[in-house]
Amino acid sequence: MAGTILLETKNLSKRFGGLKALDRFDFLVRHGEIVGLIGPNGSGKTTFFHVVTGILKAASGTVMFGERREVLTALPPHRITALGIARTFQRQRLFNQMTVLQNVLVGAHCRTCSGLFGSILRTPATRREQKVVQEKATRLLALFGERLLPRAQDPAWTLSYANRRRLEIARALAADPLLLLLDEPAAGMNPTETRELMRDILSIREQGITIVLIEHDMTVVRGICDQVVALDHGIKIAEGSFEEVRNHPSVIEAYLGRRAKHA
């Protein structure tokens, strides 16, 4: 499996009115990789995740996924989740009043079989399934050491900022993804939390999950990404190792240009 193509996009474009948020974007991730997606604010990174997960429809181009190179471009989001792509959001979307454990259970919903009647009648099959799913959710919380598991029964709103971000990752993992898309997971974290996050992401990869990581913190990108792709105005301006991309004239120009404009 390692080394084979898991996700590939060709000529992917997305427009918002006159604005090209993605412009003929070719992107490729192989099994077992951690690929970093960087670029200044507004360069189209989050839009890329929206298009891959079916939240937004591409204007043109294709997204292919898995060994059978299934075309995702025409599929609704729940089908894409079922095929094995899960994500976190740049802005958190937790259910605040639900417990930490319940938030993870929501993520597992797409993998459970019992429908509404099973849940209401609490048939033996449903109870068995619920037990299995609860065990899985507990296992996922345990991935984050002592951060989440002792708080499993607390409402999500009581969590610290960093723990909320960890919970979002746990919830995404509950969908049993082959590919995990993380949108700025280190944003707002202090250096210690960031280091811990890097270890967490590496251990998720150890479990055979491939990762695309949008991240502004270059320590994280340098530390854990095998490949890096840079976007600017929806256009791929560089790809390769961290060093290659970071030192690429177009990348330097893209970041400096924005800074100069905002100064």
Beta-strand relationship, 227-232 and 235-240? antiparallel
Q: Is 103 in the site for Mg ion (CB under 5 A)?
A: no
Question: Of 87 and 136, which CB lies nearer to Mg ion in the complex structure?
Answer: 87
Report the partner that residue 16 touches, choosing among Mg ion, ligand ADP, none (CB closer than 5 to 8 A by kind). ligand ADP
Site for ligand ADP in 18-37 (CB under 6 A): 19, 21
Q: Shortest Cβ distance from residue 47 to ligand ADP (Å)?
A: 3
Q: Shortest Cβ distance from residue 42 to Mg ion (Å)?
A: 8
Report the partner that residue 256 touches, choosing among Mg ion, ligand ADP, none (CB closer than 5 to 8 A by kind). none
Cβ-based neighbours of 26, under 8 Å, separated by 6 or more: 9, 10, 11, 12, 236
> How far apart are the C-alpha atoms of 64 and 52, rounded to whole Å?
9
Q: Shortest Cβ distance from residue 165 to ligand ADP (Å)?
A: 17
Question: Of 133 and 228, which CB lies nearer to ligand ADP in the complex structure?
Answer: 228
Residues in the interface with ligand ADP (CB under 6 A) total 11
User: Distances from the Cα of 8 to the Cαs of 212, 223, 237, in angstroms?
Assistant: 12, 24, 17
Site for ligand ADP in 35-94 (CB under 6 A): 39, 41-47
**Residue nearest to Mg ion as judged by C-beta position:** 46
Report the partner that residue 185 touches, choosing among Mg ion, ligand ADP, none (CB closer than 5 to 8 A by kind). none
Contact string 11-50 vs Mg ion (x = CB under 5 A): ----------------------------------xx----
Question: Of 15 and 111, which CB lies nearer to ligand ADP in the complex structure?
Answer: 15
Kindly list the residues in this chain that would bind ligand ADP in the complex (CB under 6 A).
16, 19, 21, 39, 41-47
Kindly list the residues in this chain that would bind Mg ion in the complex (CB under 5 A).
45-46, 90
